[in-house]
Structure 1
Amino acid sequence: MRKSLTVALGLLLAAGMTTPARAATVDPLISAKGTVAFQAADNRLWVTGITANGKSLNLDMMPGTSPAISPGTGQTTVLTGTVVFQGSNGDLWAAAAGSTASKDHGVPMAPGTNASITTDGARVAFQHANGDLWTTDGRSPVDTGRAMAPGTSPSAGTASRMAFQGADGFLWTLSGGRTSYAMAPGTSPAISQDGVIAFQGATGTLWIIRVGGATTDTGYRMAPGTSPGMSTMSKDWDLTRIAFQGDDGQLHTTAASVNRLNKDWGFDMMAGTSPTVSSDGARMAFHGANGHLQTMSENDTRRDLGYVLAAGTSPG
């Protein structure tokens, strides 16, 4: 794996970018302007716009893991943002989508897990090799002491709003601790900057915790072993867009409001993978059943970009 000597300290929030990253993602999530990061079939980190223009960053990823990208400020064909991922050496890495800048943070991640970036782009959350939830600003990694379920990943809305599946199989938040909601094994939650949480409950259905704490079992059945993707910076939390793979293997969407109905898009997804939503909710990306990266633009136009994703991975 290549490491640029020009990388600045910290999380690579601006190093080598055409514009600074200013917001962030949950795990995993495409940028607000449509830049998608993914692990290609060659196990290398790639980035692309939602209408193609992809390129390899020539960085090797741990097989079976997925990247996450901060939104950046570019157009759909301008590759900007900071990508965090598990490198082939098992460490937490960061890379600039628009350049060759990259950094090995030297902190080992748990096998088969992914990192997440807070909405201000200042902090990364991940499951450490010791099984605990760790966070870092790129300089000082912190062990929160909260044990996570093996093979699951945290979601970071803000530095204080993080959600994860605890080692006991229940949904936990960093600030509030253990909730009373059991999660489906091997799945991970998504959390927005306002505190909306979406997750696959032990019932196998999509659950939503809205601002204020009201909780709903939507009854929408999810594919086993998959996790929801969610917009993280909607100006109206009630319209927060949530995407998931239904138990029919197809892409579905709903919203945080109990009055927003489930929509089945009829697009087949690769088994065991999860869709991702841009932070503004306008765009989506998913691993198609044909193995290709597929995207949906602001007007809900679907495109098969033709890029072959690594087995068992999801775009970020």
Structure 2
Amino acid sequence: MYAQETAFITGIDCTPEEGFGSTPQTGIGTAPWEDGFGTAPSGGGTDSGSGTGTTIPSPETIPAAFQANTGFLYTRSGAGAMFDTRYGMMNGTSPATSGGQTAFQANTGFLYTRNTNGVTLDTGYGMMNGTSPAISGGQIAFQANTTMLYTRNMNNGATQNLQLGMMRGTSPSIAGATSRWRIAFQANTGFLYTRDSSGAVVNTGYGMMAGTSPSITALPSGGYAIAFQANTGMLWTIDGNGRATDTRYGMMNGTSPAISATDTGFTTAFQANTGFLWVRTSGGVAKDTGLGMMRGTSPAIRGYRIVFQANTGFLWVRDGESATDTRYGMMAGTNPAV
């Protein structure tokens, strides 16, 4: 079922290159709405388990991270202050951030971390080309250059090969903290899998669209919720009780949804097959924000803050019904993180 583990490729350990870039060109683009059709992904259940719970942060406290069009890792404070870390990132990859801690694939191919004090560490672990790490509460998940799913405790450096093969070109998502967590990922079978800190592995039996990645969040009431693009092209969600729902909303090819806990459940953000940013609550209320996204990119959400690459190539931030163009250009084909 899983890919056989191969020798871990260490590569050359060196400082990421600084690189250069220029201001992006603006652009516009829209497309008509299409509901889309398809057969349901292979069915199955998922164990809801118990989450760590979470509190919903206010938007002004939520930092962001992104790969600028210079190839450098940038961070943005919740209040909007930008910082160029001067660390080069691998083309086509995106950073992850949680509580001011950041993980990213450097342009050396290695997993790097950056703590809240700005201290940056080369972990020495090679990542699969075109993939991005995930982080939550100091716990990191990533696809190694062996295609295996790995996890790393950012606080003490403990790193583990979970011996689970991932689909090439996809990235895991993690929710929780170092003491208890759950990872969602697309296995090398094309199915959505989860693996938690207790060692439990669950094949949900739901097929995912090739080249896409799931998103997972810990719910305040306990348990976890997951969003993913099914192999029908539709947005699917799995709630804290393990109930799966085909929302019947079509997603843009090659993009992945984002999910975050809210005071009333969870909210999903995604690029619809119209090219616009859509949001959908766990209660089933969906809305077209009217904001065009760069084709092939995916949004990120935490609480009530959404960040995304607009179809102009700039980083945009949406808080509730208010959206702001930061005027910072992003690298083509990459996604911001919150």
Query: Do Structure 1 and Structure 2 share a fold, with TM-score over 0.5?
Result: yes
Provide the residue aligned with 2:311 in structure 1: 289
- Tell me the amino acid that sits aligned with residue 293 of structure 1: L
248 and 230 in structure 1: CA distance in 2 versus 1, 3 angstrom threshold: same
CA RMSD of aligned residues (A): 2.1
Task: Report the 3-state secondary structure (helix = DSSP H, G, I; strand = E; otherwise coil) of the residue aligned with 1:52.
Answer: coil
Confirm or deny that 1:167 pairs with 2:196: no
Q: Is the 8 A contact 1:123 1:137 kept in 2?
A: yes
Confirm or deny that 1:231 pairs with 2:260: yes
- Tell me the amino acid that sits aligned with residue 327 of structure 2: G
Confirm or deny that 1:211 pairs with 2:240: yes
Q: Is the 8 A contact 2:60 2:78 kept in 1?
A: no
Q: Is the 8 A contact 1:220 1:262 kept in 2?
A: no
Confirm or deny that 1:181 pairs with 2:197: no
> How many angstroms does 1:45 deviate by?
0.3
Please, which of 83, 105, 120 is the counterpart of residue 102 of structure 2?
Answer: 83
**Stretches of structure 2 lacking an aligned partner (at least 5 in a row):** 1-14, 18-52
Q: Is the 8 A contact 1:51 1:303 kept in 2?
A: no
Query: Runs of at least 4 residues of structure 1 off by over 3 A?
Result: 49-52
Provide the residue aligned with 2:290 in structure 1: 266
> How many angstroms does 1:35 deviate by?
1.2
Q: Is the 8 A contact 2:102 2:115 kept in 1?
A: yes
Deviation track 1:67-123 (CA, whole Å, cap 9, x = no partner) reads 11113xxxxxxxxx11110011111111135x44100111111111111113xx231
Confirm or deny that 1:151 pairs with 2:169: yes
Distance 1:184 1:155 in 2: 16
* TM-score, normalisation: structure 1: 0.81
- Tell me the amino acid that sits aligned with residue 282 of structure 1: Y
Computing the radius of gyration from Cα coordinates, the structure with the larger value is: 2
Q: Is the 8 A contact 2:67 2:89 kept in 1?
A: yes
Provide the residue aligned with 1:195 in structure 2: 224
Q: Is the 8 A contact 1:50 1:295 kept in 2?
A: no
Distance 2:79 2:309 in 1: 15
Distance 1:169 1:291 in 2: 30
Confirm or deny that 1:126 pairs with 2:146: no
Structure with more contact order per residue of length (Cα contacts < 8 Å, sep ≥ 6): 2
Confirm or deny that 1:92 pairs with 2:111: yes
Provide the residue aligned with 1:76 in structure 2: none
Distance 1:33 1:93 in 2: 24
Provide the residue aligned with 1:220 in structure 2: 249
> How many angstroms does 1:2 deviate by?
6.8
* TM-score, normalisation: structure 2: 0.76
Matched length? 272
Task: Report the 3-state secondary structure (helix = DSSP H, G, I; strand = E; otherwise coil) of the residue aligned with 2:107.
Answer: coil
43 and 2 in structure 1: CA distance in 2 versus 1, 3 angstrom threshold: closer
- Tell me the amino acid that sits aligned with residue 322 of structure 2: T
Percent pairwise identity: 36
